[in-house]
Amino acid sequence: MPKNKGKKRAHNESDAAANKQEATTTSSAEAAPITAEGEMPQKKFYRSRAHCNPLSFNEAFDYPTRPDLFDWTEDHYPEHPTLAQDDTEMSGFNSQSAAIRPDVLDVGCGFGGLTMALSPALPNNTILGLEIRAKVTEYVRLRIVAQRKEHPGQYQNCSVMRTNAMKYLPNFFPKAALEKLFFCFPDPHFKRKNHPRRIVSERLLSEYAFLLKPEVGRLYCITDVKDLHDWHVEKCDAHPLFERLTEEEMEADPCVTLMKTETEEGKKVKREGRFGHDMYYQVYKRVDETLAANKEKVGLGSITAANFFGEGEFGVEVQ
């Protein structure tokens, strides 16, 4: 039988060379960024799963041990409008971090539609989008950088950060630091066993109340799922430190219109309407503790800020 070992060896060597060249090409392609810094990113390259479980998300996040140790000007707001003030007023890390800190949070900002829209709508505020998915966060970051490049002097008061908002907000923000909290089209977590994953709950509402400024702070909720909206209303109405705004007060708030028209999910609801084309929303005011302690909320009987946490709830025990 004729032996073709030489040819076979040559064939294998050719395949090995081709594989090596392909690997080199692939490695080069992976090393190159999908979007150049300052260019507008294409959403198709940054698609990700719509939701993840925040309670079992084990990837480590960087966070400060306390809020005053985090400098927001370093990576997020390097050319914030406040920095145009006299340098003597802004000398030192502590004064700088105290002067520049986000006071409007878009929790679960997605692809950043509302975060971007809030920047020109609230020029005197500092907006931060929070997102847990890495690819989506990078898309929003590149989008902001591109807008800053295209419109010099604009969008310097908005940024995005990847974190888990259900765990680390108190590490970044002190008491009464926020004016607005947006929860736009959050994951419904339909199954009853998954309800603790919802971004609005008794425990988290107390945390949000701690972070929002009394009588100034606003909490915005919007969804296209009626059952989830009823959950939001039930939990917020029951909390002694939140008070529902009237229809007239919500109509007078431009941010309500923005969260209905500028979020990607809001546009999708109007376009596709997976759960219908209706959007359900409500806005709540953070009330002052002294007022809440002396006022019984309608339908709550004797529940006040002082006795909201009952025996057996969140470790509360009767002494």
Q: Using CA atoms, how far apart are residues 269 and 274, in angstroms rounded to an integer? A: 7
| C-alpha span between 67 and 21 (Å, rounded) | 49
Q: Which of 187, 237, 253, 288 is catalytic?
A: 187
Decide if 113 contacts 185 (C-beta within 8 A). Answer: no
Structure tokens that stand for 54 in this block: 């925040």
187 is catalytic: yes
Max Cα-Cα span within the chain: 102
Residue 114's closest CA among 99, 101, 131? 131
Q: How far apart are CA 307 and CA 162, in angstroms?
A: 35
Query: Cβ distance 103 to 125 under 8 Å?
Result: yes
CA distance 177 to 122: 16
Task: Give the Å distances, CA to CA, from 216 to 178, 181, 280.
Answer: 9, 11, 23
CA-to-CA distance for 95 and 278, rounded, in angstroms? Answer: 46
CA 271 to chain centre: 23
Q: By the 8 A CB rule, do 144 and 158 touch?
A: yes
Q: Which residues are catalytic?
A: 187
